[in-house]
Amino acid sequence: MGRIYMLDAPLFVPVTNTYRETVARKTTKKTPERKFQPLRWLKRWFWRMLLIVVVIVVGVVAAHSVFNPGQGYYMRQEARRLGGVDHLWVPIADIAPVVARSVVAAEDAGFCEHWGFDMTAIRAALAEGSGRGASTLSQQVVKNAYLWHGRNWSRKALEAVITPLVEVFWSKRRILEVYLNLAEFDEGVFGIEAAAQHYFGVPPSKLSPLQAARLAAILPSPKQRSASKPSGYVRKRTRQILDGAETIRRDGRASCFES
């Protein structure tokens, strides 16, 4: 016959309020109240906004490796001042190759060899106490497409940041194409298409080596110089550019931008 066991304790123990409070105190930790810290908040949002700006700038520069940038700040400024400007975009394939060689010879002979900054020219300019001659075509493109004219450190700082991005995302040929389409050649005359018609009455594809050198010779001061009525300085500079453009063609320094 089997044994029968009797349990002295009740099967269910009632849970009292005191027990609940004890468990709650043991399991619940007090979360310290956080105080609002304005400086920390501003710092956090500063870095967030900076990241957003960087992403936007990179995206815009990358997109312009394919899509043409619009009129830059300076061109829009001149359009408001003059009531309009003469400007028409033209692909580099429709520009005589000697134009690109002439501009490189005049403004940036080491264009194919640097990564956006000509350190030799920069050191020479610092030694002379002048910024003239230190700005590469890549830097000028950044200024014309994205920034404003004028010498100040804020613009130079932005230029120093954006120029390497242009060199990364754009080919050298693309940099020259944008430069030739945004450069100022006379008051209210922007781009090689408008300049060729304005000075010589021909499309940029029909520009001769002499005409191309004349246009390059008036840079970077087109408001003080004329390609159709050249001064003695412009004539001398034109001869130098003609020689330089031919040298660049012969020694292969035009290979990075000529297809």
DSSP β-ladder status, 184-186 and 86-87: unpaired
pLDDT of residue 54: 87
Angle made by CA atoms 146, 147, 150, in degrees to the nearest 5 = 155
Please determine, for residue 133, whether its predicted confidence score (pLDDT) is greater than 80.
Answer: no
Please determine, for residue 22, whether its predicted confidence score (pLDDT) is greater than 60.
Answer: no
Q: What CATH number corresponds to the domain at position 138?
A: 1.10.3810.10
Residue 66 lies in a domain: no
Stretch 78-107: mean pLDDT, rounded? 97
Question: Chain-wide mean pLDDT for the chain?
Answer: 87
pLDDT of residue 228: 92
Share of the chain above pLDDT 90, in %: 66
Instruction: For residue 24, name the pLDDT band (cuts at 50, 70, 90).
Output: low
> How many beta carbons lie within 10 A of that of residue 205, not counting itself?
15
Instruction: For residue 47, name the pLDDT band (cuts at 50, 70, 90).
Output: confident
pLDDT of residue 256: 94
- DSSP-based three-state secondary structure for 87: strand
CA separation for the pair 80, 181 (Å, rounded): 19
Residue 192's nearest CA partner among 222, 225, 82, 183 is: 183
Stretch 87-108: mean pLDDT, rounded? 97
Residue 98 lies in a domain: yes
Residue 12 lies in a domain: no
Which of 102-111, 133-142, 242-251 has the least mean pLDDT? 133-142
Residue 45 lies in a domain: no
Q: Domain tally for the chain? A: 1
Residue 163 lies in a domain: yes
CA separation for the pair 110, 93 (Å, rounded): 22
Residue 23 lies in a domain: no
Stretch 31-54: mean pLDDT, rounded? 78
Stretch 196-201: mean pLDDT, rounded? 97
Residue 27 lies in a domain: no
Please determine, for residue 16, whether its predicted confidence score (pLDDT) is greater than 70.
Answer: no
Domain that holds residue 239: 74-251
pLDDT of residue 197: 97
Is pTM, for the whole model, over 0.75? yes
Share of the chain above pLDDT 70, in %: 82
Residue 38 lies in a domain: no
Which of 5-14, 153-162, 179-188 has the least mean pLDDT? 5-14
